[in-house]
Structure formats: structure tokens, C-alpha cells
Amino acid sequence: MPHYNAPTKDMQYVLNDVLDVKNSSIPGYADLDADSLSAILEEAGKITSQVLAPLNAVGDQEGCHFENGVIRTPAGFKDAFEQVKEGGWTGIDCDPEFGGQGLPYLVGTAVGEMFASSN
């Protein structure tokens, strides 16, 4: 079975060294240091490789079903979504006024790429 390894080091390199986001005028980076960015990307890498990626086979084999007016997702999907939701990953780059974490859009894009790639 294939294993997903999130490219967190590559993402850190692009954001920190290529784009130099810390010294840019991109909104939101003034308060985000390299260690915090690294921690965010590493945690996203963990949930995508340990929680989401293993569901690929289950999702392909079981699929979703519509029964008696209710949509049933494959085994493990509901629990995985709860972990994603509870971890605050769904609104990582959204305005805190609306329940988000207010992180820069590029961080949300990097995290979103891991989520999309892992499953």
C-alpha cells in the first residue's frame, strides 16, 4: 500500500527561502516566525499522512452510499473529519471573526495541498 509523506521541508524551503515571506509585505507574516510555520506544516503533515492517507483504499473500496435519504461515507471518514475539524484545519486561513485562525493565505494553500494530495 502506498504511503503519503507530506513534503513539509520542501514547503518550508519555498515559503522561507524562495519567497522569503517573513521579509515580504504579504499580510499576516509579520507575526509568524519560521519555527511556528514549521510547526504548523509538520502537524499538517502528520494528520495528512497518519489520518487521511490511510483512508484512500477504504474510500475506493467502499465509496459513499445514499440509503433512506442519508449519505453514508466509508469507514473512518467521519472520525477523520472530526479530527480535521477539531484541529482547526478547516479554517486555518480564515478570519478569526468567523471562526478561523487568521493565518496567511499561503499557509492555508500549503496545508490545503497536503490535504488534497493525501486523500
Q: Is the pLDDT of residue 53 over 70?
A: yes
pLDDT-based confidence at residue 29 (cuts at 50, 70, 90) = confident
Q: What is the 3-state secondary structure (H, E, C) of the chain?
A: CCCCCCCHHHHHHHHHHHCCHHHCCCCCCCCCCHHHHHHHHHHHHHHHHHHHCCHHHHHHHHCCEEECCEEECCCCHHHHHHHHHHCCHHHCCCCHHHCCCCCCHHHHHHHHHHHHHHC
CATH, range 8-118: 1.10.540.10
List the domain boundaries for the chain.
8-118
Q: What's residue 69's pLDDT?
A: 97
Q: What's residue 32's pLDDT?
A: 86
Q: What's residue 1's pLDDT?
A: 59
Q: What's residue 33's pLDDT?
A: 86
